Copies of this chain bind each other. A is one copy, B any other.
């Protein structure tokens, strides 16, 4: 089907991992150094594409690059115990559940506040009142926030 050896751009197109990221994965050791042509161009074979798709899928499931390194090692070890893989997956599930719960709490609070805010031309605003209230608990947990993405003006 596919050519025996593809350039990085072709490999990127076929796996959904950008050329930039393929180079970065190599530079950080997640991938072994790619084969090079005489001119220095990287070349990828079927096995490399398979690995890249593996990485892509793992990223889509939210695994960190460190976790993927572990998963790749287990994948390559045909004698691995599945317990190791399951442990990594469950750790990731726990991470996701924790972050989801955190954001769910934020969302619910904001929904209550937004519901109480008439949102018209008048200045009275329960949302600002809440933000300005000095009686909020310290909330010592690690935050995973951000991304409203509005201009500061």
Contacts and interface: CB of A to CB of B under 8 A. Distances in A.
Interface of A: 16, 29, 50, 53-54, 56-67, 69-71, 74-75, 77-83, 85-93, 95-97, 99-100, 103-104, 106-107, 109-111, 113-114, 117-125, 127-128, 130-134, 136, 138-139, 143-153
A144 B79 CA distance: 33
**A50, A128, A130, A138 pick with most chain B CB within 10 angstroms:** A128
B145 A85 contact: no
Contact of A89 (B82, B87, B103, B127): B127
B61 A138 contact: no
This protein's copies in its complex:
2
- Closest 9 pairs between A and B when the two form their complex, measured CB to CB: A86-B119, A67-B148, A62-B145, A82-B125, A69-B152, A96-B107, A64-B148, A62-B106, A81-B121
A109 to B, nearest CB: 6
Given A78-B123, A86-B119, A53 B136 contact: yes
